Amino acid sequence: MMRISTKGRYALRIMIDLAHQKSGEPVSLRSVAERQDITLKYMEGIMTHLLRSGLVVSIRGKAGGYYLAKPANEYTVYEILKAAEGDLSTVHCLSTPQNFCPMHEECSTLPLWKGLQDVIKSYLENFTLEDMKGDNSSQVFCDGKVIFNQES
């Protein structure tokens, strides 16, 4: 079964948190870590992936921090999860552009796995970070936790 790891779920929570902040103003990792109840050390590893993928911008120094590289409505959940997880393939033989499986030409299950992968990608691409912000309610939940309380 394909599963999104804790790293992917936390990356989405971090990005949602950043989307709630004022555009272009850096937010300290410590403040995000406190709001999201994620250890700072674990967040630093996730932020490395988000930075490398160009999803966030980092500012060094006392007033530094992180902010979104583009408006929240321009991010898809798929690209955030892909940045954090790397490979989102349903099966190993679909994890590279060229299929190196010696059975790929005769494999009767390959179309099934490719179709499932396409459906998952399409589904996750239909949700933007803006959608995930949940501005229509006072609280946003993920994994059973309040990840942002608009009243605070």
What CATH number has the domain bearing residue 77?
A: 1.10.10.10
Q: What is the pTM of this model?
A: 0.83
69 in a structural domain: yes
The answer as to whether 52 is a domain residue is: yes
Q: Are strands 56-59 and 65-68 parallel, antiparallel or unpaired?
A: antiparallel
Residues contacting residue 52 through CB under 8 Å, at least 6 positions apart = 83
What are the pLDDT digits (tens) for 66-77? 999 999 999 999
The answer to whether residue 83 is domain-embedded is yes
Q: How many domains does the chain have?
A: 1
Q: Is residue 137 part of a domain?
A: yes
pLDDT averages per 10-residue partition of the chain, 152 residues: 87 96 88 94 96 95 91 96 92 86 88 93 94 67 54 44
Task: Examine residue 66 and state whether it is found in any structural domain, yes or no.
Answer: yes
Flag whether 93 is in a domain.
Answer: no
Domain that holds residue 48: 6-87+128-149
| The predicted structure's pLDDT at residue 143 | 56
Q: Do the strands 139-142 and 145-149 form a parallel or antiparallel pair, or are they unpaired?
A: antiparallel
Quote the CA–CA distance of 31 and 22 in Å, as a whole number.
14
